[in-house]
């Protein structure tokens, strides 16, 4: 199986020993307590599950600035986005242990204990520089920029001991998986080549066929559909609805035992190209050998070019920085001429009217009115679940 990024084995920070975990939860009661941002809680979940291997905690200011400018930490470790515990009030001193409290669960239980190795204050200009490097913009209307700049200007750095996986392991018990668990399941299935597909949306016919195309082209034995379960921008479809629709599609339209439907506990950054590289990194960590990157991957609005998330791997990611292979996908749509889903680049003889293409706005309008999109666009079983959601809004 493919090696994790920058290590021979995963480095999950979750405290798996039950007695040790109980002792740490008891210790947390005597420590300074900080209710962290949702982004920091999500970072703890990802660190706990091994997705952020080889990191052992949140970054210092020096690491964050280095990662923002050239995608490496101060010691040269490749990493595409800063992973920080940003706050307005550190409530800590260097050398202390502090309890990080989960903002997304009732009563704010402790999600991790952090041993503080550095406390750094960023200037407004430095935060702006990071936002520009990671998101490609400082526009506060960008949901990722807005969430990043709202956290505070003080970075508390140091290793974490993660004590739980927040609401993800309870609210999405059938779907949430750590990188450790996915690797174990892949090993049990005996898959050697694995395609990973990232989604924050329901999957329609084009997405379904894209996974099948990638599996065929790479010779993969299986596909891991890996959905984001964390916070999204207003208007995005909730994770439980996406989960149900994707499972229905897989059950009806993929060969048995060829797909794993899983999810991970992270808040969407909407960082386009940089987030695509991050997505590739934690798909390598979970054991995938190939990762699908299509049109406007991890994008929002008009902030990124249609295929910037592909070209960043060619122009900015150093050769050998990641071992996972990228499967570059074009816009995919149903061809009326060929009566099947195709990549547009593969059919140069087609005109726009030869495809079944619907805007997101049009699809939402149809679903909200109880009208299923055409079967060339969406499987009827998927449309039924989505219609029920939109009609109950």
The more confidently predicted of residues 381 and 359 is 381
- Whether residue 171 is predicted with pLDDT greater than 90 in this model: the reply is yes
Catalytic-role residue among 91, 108, 153, 200: 200
- For residues 286 and 96, what is the distance between their CA atoms, to the nearest angstrom? 32
- For residues 212 and 328, what is the distance between their CA atoms, to the nearest angstrom? 14
Predicted confidence at residue 376, as pLDDT, reads 93
Question: Domain-by-domain residue ranges, the chain?
Answer: 18-166, 174-264+272-391
Question: Which listed CATH number (3.10.400.10, 3.10.450.50, 3.20.20.70, 3.50.50.60) goes with 18-166?
Answer: 3.10.400.10
- For residues 24 and 152, what is the distance between their CA atoms, to the nearest angstrom? 27
Task: Provide the token pair at 207.
Answer: 């997405």
- Whether residue 373 is predicted with pLDDT greater than 90 in this model: the reply is yes
- pTM of the predicted protein model: 0.96
- Whether residue 258 is predicted with pLDDT greater than 90 in this model: the reply is yes
Residues in the chain: 393
- For residues 297 and 7, what is the distance between their CA atoms, to the nearest angstrom? 27
Residue 244: pLDDT band (50, 70, 90) is very high
- Tell me what the pLDDT averaged over the chain comes to: 96
Predicted confidence at residue 175, as pLDDT, reads 97
Catalytic-role residue among 91, 201, 328, 388: 201
Predicted confidence at residue 118, as pLDDT, reads 98
pLDDT digits (tens, 9 = 90+) for 72-106: 999 999 999 999 999 998 889 999 999 999 999 99
- For domain 174-264+272-391, give the CATH superfamily: HUPs (3.40.50.620)
Predicted confidence at residue 240, as pLDDT, reads 93
Q: What is the mean pLDDT of residues 184-201?
A: 96
Least confident of 39-43, 47-51, 108-112, 294-298: 294-298
Residue 120: pLDDT band (50, 70, 90) is very high
Our answer to whether residue 388 is catalytic in this structure is no
pLDDT digits (tens, 9 = 90+) for 345-354: 999 999 999 9
- For residues 142 and 229, what is the distance between their CA atoms, to the nearest angstrom? 20
Our answer to whether residue 379 is catalytic in this structure is no
Predicted confidence at residue 236, as pLDDT, reads 85
- Whether residue 229 is predicted with pLDDT greater than 90 in this model: the reply is yes
């Amino acid at each position: 199986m493919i090696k994790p990024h920058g290590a021979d084995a995963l480095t999950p920070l979750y405290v798996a020993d039950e007695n040790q975990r109980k002792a740490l939860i008891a210790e947390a009661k005597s420590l300074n307590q900080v209710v962290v941002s949702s982004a920091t809680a999500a970072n703890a979940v990802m660190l706990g599950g091994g997705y952020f291997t080889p990191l052992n905690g949140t970054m210092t200011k020096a690491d964050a600035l280095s990662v923002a400018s050239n995608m490496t930490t101060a010691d040269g470790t490749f990493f595409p986005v800063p992973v920080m515990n940003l706050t307005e009030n550190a409530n800590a001193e260097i050398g202390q242990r502090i309890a990080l409290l989960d903002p997304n669960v009732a009563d704010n239980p402790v999600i991790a204990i952090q041993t503080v190795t550095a406390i750094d204050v960023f200037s407004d200009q430095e935060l702006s520089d990071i936002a520009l490097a990671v998101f490609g913009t400082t526009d506060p209307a960008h949901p990722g920029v807005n969430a990043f700049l709202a956290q505070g200007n003080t970075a508390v750095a140091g290793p974490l001991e993660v004590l739980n996986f927040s609401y993800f392991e309870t609210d999405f018990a059938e779907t949430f998986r750590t990188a450790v668990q996915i690797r174990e399941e892949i090993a049990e299935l005996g898959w050697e080549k694995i395609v990973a597909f990232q989604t924050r949306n329901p999957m329609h016919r084009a997405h379904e066929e894209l996974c099948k195309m990638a599996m065929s082209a790479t010779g993969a034995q299986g596909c891991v559909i890996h959905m984001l379960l964390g916070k999204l921008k207003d208007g995005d479809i909730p994770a439980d609805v996406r989960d149900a629709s994707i499972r229905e599609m897989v059950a009806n339209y993929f060969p048995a035992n060829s797909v794993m439907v899983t999810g991970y506990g992270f808040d969407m950054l909407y960082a386009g190209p940089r987030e695509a590289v991050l997505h590739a990194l934690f798909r390598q960590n979970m054991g995938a050998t190939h990762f699908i990157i299509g049109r406007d991957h991890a994008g929002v609005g008009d902030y990124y070019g249609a295929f910037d998330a592909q070209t960043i791997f060619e122009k900015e990611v150093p050769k050998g920085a990641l071992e996972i292979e990228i499967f570059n996908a074009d816009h995919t749509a149903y061809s009326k001429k060929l009566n099947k889903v195709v990549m547009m680049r593969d059919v140069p003889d087609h005109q726009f009217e030869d495809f079944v293409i619907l805007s997101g706005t049009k699809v939402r309008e149809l679903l909200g009115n109880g009208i299923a999109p055409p079967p060339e666009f969406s499987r009827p079983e998927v449309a039924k679940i989505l219609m029920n959601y939109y009609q109950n809004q």
